[in-house]
Chains A and B, each alone.
Chain A
Amino acid sequence: MSLAIAAMVALLPMPFVLEPYSLIQLSNAMVLAIACMGMKVVFGTAGLLSFGHATFFAVSAYAGAFLCHFGQIDSFEIYLLFGVCFSVLLSAVLGYLSVRATRIHFTILTLAFCQIVYSLFINGAVFELFGGDGRAIYYVTEGGMYIRRLALLGQQITPPDFIPSLYNVIAVAFVVAAALLWRIDRSPFGLALMAIRDNATRAAAVGIRVRRYRWYAFILSGAFVALAGSLYGQLNRQITPEQLDWLFSAKLILAVVLGGSRRYLGPILGAILFIGLDEAASGLLGYHGLMLGVLLIAAVFLFPGGLAETVATVVRRLRGRVAGGP
């Protein structure tokens, strides 16, 4: 609790300190961190490598966007709630089917589901559900969806104040998600997930409902990722099929691995590191992908167990020196 308050105190003054671009990047980092926390639950804690979580990220934003556009809804809270609930329901269904398989077969199933949903958006089938208007949007945006500035707590925010206001919402969501992840990691449920990750057969032999708990983990992680997706949609004012592609899931996994998939701080540090590297690579126009690849390779070699593991090792050594004296 005190950690959450400290994080909130550190994050709240940022709109007054940072310039707009940096504030947007910090917001993007927090959104990515929330999504990575979801990946941490399913991959780092439960040991399930899912390439399907891009679906829940994007579908959450798409569902909210469709509701706002076709239902003439202007409330950010309704957009967020509807998107997250829809996406969590989808994760419950896809998770129920996916956890019937294990290891690589589970991964392939999630990848297949992800690409099925991606193809439904990229070929316009989902837009067709909304008739001529939906078809028109599809042809104009090529499968993307524009999301206008929505009213926060019933208040229409003027454009200059919108990003700082949304930043505050994202900061609260980030702190709440981080606190929830902290609870999960230390709960008997979290321990049971770790036991399943370490040895599913032995976990079953001590009475853990392996498949059921894997399903719960999948849904829980889907909720984190869905929340991040809705926030991303409003922050960037659009959602595109790019976020539906399995490569986006790979990006989340990469960020979690970079940060340290088994450490609590792993997804947070991984998201910050990934956004930082992406930003550094964007300086080289035309070579962004190449530069990002080189930086990622360097990061993997520099932080073999993930950035959080390296930080923990450094802290341990410093403590050892302090305890050992001069």
Chain B
Amino acid sequence: MPLLEISNVNTFRASAHVLRDIALNVNDREVVCLVGRNGAGKTTTIESIMGLLPVKSGTVRFQDRDITALPAHQRARLGIGYSPEDAGIFPDLTVAENLMISEWLVAEKAKSAGETAIADTEARIYSVFPEVRGLTGRRGLNLSGGQKKMVAISRAMALLPSLLLLDEAFEGLAPVVVNRFRDAVNKIKDFGISILIAESNVVTASAVADRLYAIDRGEIIFEGKPEEALNNAEVMRTLRG
């Protein structure tokens, strides 16, 4: 049974029909990339999974539970971490405070369930992004683009998710930083966290993905191994425009 399973999802933005019968799944401990050009429907797919956009029809199942009608905060509490395209760092809060909110929510959830919260959250985060340790006192407003993305992923990890949704995690980063993020993705996967990445660069996506979906004009046009996508001339032509 997949960790995340999306079936026949149709989503609208205002009157525009953006996603058309989208179906994809993410298995346990798997890195899946959703690749497409700008405007293809990647962010809409991620936001539909996260509950930030209402799904018109179709179902979203997580851990064998139908979450299609659940609000975003409940999906986050179920274990879906989300790092948005713009990082979504709260600008007036320090990095430590950005992380503290997630840790507090996890502790609150554990308390209500009569469990003890996992104490090594910060150790996990710093093992993936040691740089974050040095940023804890800095306000979100004063972070660079790459730092914001690191903190956004760290904040999502602080929720102890089973699944991470990374929207354009590599976009706008210098090549050396992209390599740094690839390593981070592999480390996160080693913690047993599955990852769904929305990415416009098929080469970058292929370097980290176990499986890959290609999306164009709101429809899934390819599903398979990254090397199969790279060798598929039609898919590559579509993805490169």
Contact = CB atoms under 8 A, between A and B. Distances in A.
Contact of A209 (B73, B82, B92, B98): B73
Contacts of A197: 92
A209 to B, nearest CB: 5
Nearest to A187: B104
Given A197-B92, A205-B52, 10 more contacts: A188-B101, A191-B93, A198-B90, A198-B91, A199-B88, A201-B72, A205-B73, A205-B76, A205-B82, A209-B73
19 contacts: A188-B104, A191-B93, A192-B104, A195-B98, A198-B91, A198-B92, A199-B88, A202-B84, A202-B88, A205-B72, A205-B84, A205-B88, A206-B76, A206-B82, A206-B105, A207-B76, A207-B77, A208-B101, A209-B73
A210 interface: yes
Interface residues of B, number: 25
B88 A194 contact: no
A188 B97 CA distance: 8
Contact of A208 (B50, B52, B91, B105): B105
B217 to A, nearest CB: 25
B52 A206 contact: no
A194 B105 CA distance: 15
Contacts of B77: 207
Contact of A195 (B51, B76, B93, B159): B93
Interface string A201-238: 11111111110000000000000000000000000000
Interface in B90-119: 90-93, 97-98, 100-102, 104-105
Interface of A: 188, 191-192, 194-195, 197-199, 201-210, 262
B100 A191 contact: yes
A202 B85 CA distance: 11
B155 interface: yes
Main secondary structure of the interface of B (DSSP, over half): helix
A199 B148 CA distance: 15
A208 B93 CA distance: 15
A151 B218 CA distance: 72
Contacts of A208: 73, 101, 105
A207 B70 CA distance: 12
A206 B72 CA distance: 8
Contacts, number: 65
Candidate in A195, A205, A210 with the most chain B CB atoms within 10 angstroms: A205
B192 interface: no
B185 to A, nearest CB: 20
A100 to B, nearest CB: 14
A207 B92 contact: no
B154 to A, nearest CB: 11
Contacts of A188: 100-101, 104
A204 B92 contact: no
B101 A204 contact: no
Nearest to A196: B90
